[in-house]
A and B are shown apart, each in its own frame.
Chain A
Amino acid sequence: MSAGINESTRVVVQGITGREGSFHTRQCILSGTNIVAGVSPGKGGEKFDGNIPVYNTVSQAVEEDRANTALVFVPAVYAGDAILESVFAGIKTVVCITEGIPFHAMLKVKRIANTFNTLLIGPNCPGIIVPGTGKLGIMPTQIFSKGHVGMISRSGTLLYEAADQVCRNGLGISTAVGIGGDPIIGSDFIYWLEQFEQDPNTHAIVMIGEIGGDMEERAASYAKAHISKPVFAFIAGRSAPEGKRMGHAGAIITGSAGTVTSKETAFEQANIMVIRNLALIGQTVSENLSLK
C-alpha cells in the first residue's frame, strides 16, 4: 500500500530525545522502519544512539536527510505546533501519537494539513504498522503477522486485541492503522477504506469503532457504494451511559447520537458483517473469509 509507510519512507522523529520518543524510535527501527533523523529543539548537532542526526528544526531534516514522513512524540501543548512545523517543511505524512492536544488547536492544524495535502494520522493514536516493512507508532510489533487483512481502529489496545485474534486464527495483517481517539483527527475510516480497496495486498477489512460522533455511519455509507472487499466491524461502548466521556475524548454519547445501535444499524444496512462479541473478532473474520 502506498499510504502511510512504504519502501521510500524516510522518517524524522519529532521529540526523539524524550522518554517516549527515544524508546519507540528504537522499537520502530527494530521493526524495519527507516528513521533518518530526529528533531529536538536545543539539541541540534547531537547524534541519537550514535548514528541518527538530531536537528533543531524539521526543515533541516528535510534538507539534509530528505525526510518525507514525521512521527510526533511532542508533549500535548507543543504538539500542534510540531505537526504544523512538519506540514510547512513539506513533509507529506505526519503520524502524531500525542494525547491531549486541545481541540481548538487541532481544528486549525487539521485544516492546514488538508490544505497542504498532508496525510495526518492521529493525534492520540498508536500509529500505523505494515508487518514486514515497518511501523510508525507504538504498537507491539510481535503480535502483527504478515497477511492480507487491513485493520482500522479508533482505539489502540482494542486494535492490538483484534489484530492478535486475527493472527491467532491463522490470518495476517496487510496494514493496521490506529486513527485516534479524539474528536478532531486527521485521516478517518473513509480514507483508509479507500486505500485498502485499492491495495492488492489487502483482501478484507476490519473496522474497530466506538461510541461518539458519526464517523462509522459515514464510513458505512461510503463502503456500501465504493468497497467491494469483505468488511467486518466491531463497535465498543454499548454499556456506556449517556453524557460520560469514556476515556477517549471522542467517545461520548449525546442524546441518540453516537450510540452503538446507530452505528451497527448503519453497518448492517451496508452489508458489513457486525461482530458483537469482543472475544470472537478473529474467529468470525477467519471463518467468514475461508467460506469465500
Chain B
Amino acid sequence: MKLHEYQGKELLQNEGVEIPESRVAYFPEEAWMVSMNIGYPVMLKAQVLTGGRGKSGGVKKCRSAEEVRQYSRQMFGSVLTTHQSGKNGLKVRKILVEKAVDYEKEFYLSFVIDRNTATIALIISKQGGMEIENLSATHPESVKKILINPFTGFLPFHARTVAAFLDLWPKTAEIFNLLGKLYRIFVTKECTLLEVNPLVLTNAGSLIPLDIKIDIDDNALIRQKEILRYRDLSEFNEDEVEARFYGLNFIKLDGNIGCMVNGAGLAMATMDFIKQAGGAPANFLDVGGVATPETISRGFEILSRDGSLKAIFVNIFGGIVRCDKVADGIIDATTRHHISLPVIIRLSGSNVEEGLKTLKASRKNFHLVTDVEQARDIINTLVNN
C-alpha cells in the first residue's frame, strides 16, 4: 500500500524527525489560508499516489498569497499524468502546502528490502532529486548500497559509512540520529520502500527530508492497524477494489481481450500469449490457484463491465478442482451476468471431457479448446472482426 507524502510526513513527525511546516488543503481557499499561516514562499505539492510529480506540474513554488490562489485553482481537479500514473492519470484532490526551504545540497536516500541477501538495503547518493533507476544506470559510482542485518538494525558504523560517502563527515551524529529514526519507521511500519528524495542540507546546516515516499507491505496490513486509516482507494479503480473484496486479483489494462486465469504466473503468461496472438490483454485477473465456481462467477461479473472487450479468454488449469465443476460454474456465471461476448475456454485437468461436453451442450457463444495453442487463431480472428 502506497502512502501519500503528507501521510509519510505524519509518520516522520511522530518519530520526531524535523521537517518543514506543512498542512494538507482540500480547496483553493484552504490552501490560501494555510499559506498565510505558514508564510511565503511556500510549495504547493499535489498529493497523488505516483512518482514524477515535479515534471508534470504537480509541484509549484509560490511567493505570495496571490500565486497560491492562482496555482492551487489550476492544480485542484487537474489530472496529473506521469510516467508511472497510467495513461488516464490521477485527479488532484489534495494539496500539501509546505514552507519552502533554501538548501545547499540535495541527496538521495532510501531503505528497501533486498531480496537476495535477506537484508534491509540503504541506498544513498549525492545526486538527490534524480530518479535512482536512471542514476544507477548512468552513474553507478554515485550510488552506494549498504546492507543492514535485520537482527542488528542501523548501527553507528552504518552512519559513518553514509557520512563518508556523502562527504558529510561533520554531520555523522545527525545522520545516525535521522537515519536511525527512518530505519525505525521502515521496520515498525513494515515498509517495503521508504524513499527520501531529496534529503537536503539547508543553508542553516541541518539535514531535512523534503519529500518522502512510503510503500507498506500489503501482507502486513492486518497487523498495521494505524496505517490502514491512511488507505486511499483512489489508487485503484472501482473494479480492482471490488475484486479484492472477493479475494480475486484484478488489474485493469487497456486492451480488447479480457482474461481470467487461475494462478498469477499462468495469468501473466496467458496475457503474454494473447498479445503474441494479435490481441491486447484488457486485464490481469487471477481467480486463485484453485479456481472454484464461485470465484469464476465473480470474475465474469467484473469482466462483464468492460465495454471495450471483443472476447474473453478463460484459461483454467484444473488440477485439484474438477473441470466439470468449473464448466458448471462458467455456464452459470455467463448466464447470470448476461455475457454475450464470445468466450474462449481452455480447460485442462481432471474430468475435462465431462466439462467440455457440458459446455458444448449449453450452445452458448463458447469456443472450446483443450490446449492453449488452439486459442491462437480464435483470438486472432475475433480481434480482427
> B-contacting residues of A (Cβ < 8 Å)?
27, 76-77, 100-104, 106-108, 110-111, 114, 126, 138-140, 142-143, 153-161, 164-165, 181, 183-184, 208, 210-211, 213-215, 218, 234, 236-244, 246-251, 254-257, 276-280
A110 in contact with B118 (CB, 8 Å): yes
Which one, B14-22, B99-107, B213-221, is touching chain A?
A: B213-221
Q: Chain A residues near B284 (CB, 8 Å)?
A: 240, 244, 246-247
Contact status A103-B192, CB under 8 Å: yes
How far, in whole Å, are A102 and B150 apart by their CA atoms in the complex? 14
CB proximity of B162 to chain A, nearest CB, Å:
21
With A153-B265, A164-B348 as contacts: A279 and B376 at CB distance below 8 Å: yes
- From B115, B269, B348, A158 is in contact (CB under 8 Å) with B269
Q: Does B74 contact A (CB under 8 A)?
A: no
> Once the chains are docked, how many angstroms separate the CA of A7 from the CA of B183?
46
Q: Are B217 and A103 in contact (CB under 8 A)?
A: yes
Q: Which residues of A contact B166 (CB under 8 A)?
A: none
Decide yes or no whether B350 CB sits under 8 A from chain A: yes
Would A248 and B265 count as touching, CB distance under 8 A?
A: yes
Chain A residues in 8 Å Cβ range of B275: 238-239
**Given the known A-B contacts A104-B217, A239-B271, are A251 and B264 also in contact in the complex, defined by CB atoms under 8 Å?**
yes
How many angstroms from the CA of A237 to the CA of B261 in the assembled complex? 14
B268 sits at the interface (CB 8 A) = yes
Chain B residues with CB under 8 A of A126 = 289
Q: What chain B residues lie within 8 Å of A104 (beta carbons)? A: 113, 150, 187, 190, 217, 220
In the complex, are the beta carbons of A157 and B265 less than 8 A apart? Answer: yes
Q: Determine whether the beta carbon of B190 is less than 8 Å from that of A103.
A: yes
Answer yes or no: B222 CB below 8 A from chain A CBs: yes
CB pair B263–A215 under 8 Å, yes or no, is: no
Closest B residue to A249 using CB positions:
B219
In the bound complex, do residue A140 and residue B269 qualify as a contact, i.e. CB atoms below 8 Å apart? no
Task: Point out the residues of chain B lying under 8 angstroms from A213, CB to CB.
Answer: 115-116
Interchain nearest-CB distance for A219 vs B (Å): 11
Indicate which residue in A164, A218, A234, A255 contacts B116 across the interface (CB closer than 8 Å). A218
| Selected contact of A160 from candidates B116, B274, B317, CB within 8 Å | B317
Contact check, A247 vs B268: say whether CB atoms are below 8 A apart.
yes
Q: Which residues of A contact B371 (CB under 8 A)?
A: 165, 279
Whether B151 lies near A157 (C-beta < 8 A) is no
The chain A residue with its CB closest to the CB of B132 is A255
CB < 8 Å neighbour of A236 from B218, B219, B265: B265
Q: Which residues of A contact B251 (CB under 8 A)?
A: 241, 244, 246
Chain B residue numbers with a CB within 8 Å of A246 are 251, 264, 267-268, 284
Instruction: Say whether B233 faces chain A, with CB atoms less than 8 Å apart.
Output: no
Q: Would A102 and B217 count as touching, CB distance under 8 A?
A: yes
Known contacts A142-B350, A249-B218: A256-B133 contact under CB 8 Å: yes
CB < 8 Å neighbour of B119 from A107, A208, A214: A107
Of chain B, the residue at the smallest CB distance from A213 is B115
**Cross-chain contact A108 with B151 (CB below 8 angstroms):** yes
Knowing A104-B217, A280-B373, say if A238 contacts B272 (CB, 8 Å).
yes
Rounded to whole Å, the gap between the CB of A98 and the closest CB of chain B is 10
Q: Which 5 A-B pairs have the closest CB atoms?
A: A155-B265, A247-B264, A157-B263, A255-B133, A158-B265
In the bound complex, do residue A107 and residue B190 qualify as a contact, i.e. CB atoms below 8 Å apart?
Answer: no
Does B264 lie within 8 Å of A155, measured CB to CB? yes
CB of A183, distance to nearest CB on chain B (Å):
5
Find out whether the CB atom of A236 lies under 8 angstroms from the CB atom of B268.
yes
In the complex, are the beta carbons of B262 and A157 less than 8 A apart? yes
- Distance between Cα atoms of A214 and B116 in the complex (Å): 8
Interface pairs (6), CB distance under 8 Å: A107-B118, A158-B266, A234-B269, A239-B271, A246-B251, A255-B131
Partner of B267, one of A27, A215, A247: A247
Instruction: For B264, give its contact among A108, A183, A184, A248 (CB under 8 Å).
Output: A248
Which residues of chain A are near B219, meaning CB under 8 Å?
76, 100-103, 249
Q: Would A247 and B373 be within 8 Å (CB), given that A77-B223, A107-B120, A108-B151 are in contact?
A: no
* CA A181 to CA B73, docked complex, whole Å: 45
Q: Which of B86, B134, B273, B319 contacts A279 (CB 8 A)?
A: B273
- In the assembled complex, the CB of A168 is this many whole angstroms from the nearest CB of chain B, namely 8
Count chain A CB atoms within 10 A of each CB in B131, B190, B264, B318 and give the residue with the most: B264
- Taking the closest CB of chain A, its distance from the CB of B230, in whole angstroms, is 17
Give the CA-CA distance A212 to B172 in the complex, in Å. Answer: 35
The distance from the CB of A83 to the nearest CB of chain B, in whole angstroms, is 13
Q: Is the CB of A251 within 8 A of B268?
A: yes
Checking B223, B265, B319 against A139 with a beta-carbon cut-off of 8 angstroms, the contacting residue is B319
Nearest CB in chain A to that of B269: its residue: A236
Check A208 against B265 for contact (C-beta < 8 Å): yes
Assess whether B265 is in contact with A210, with CB atoms less than 8 Å apart: yes
Chain A positions within 8 Å of B222 at CB level? 76-77
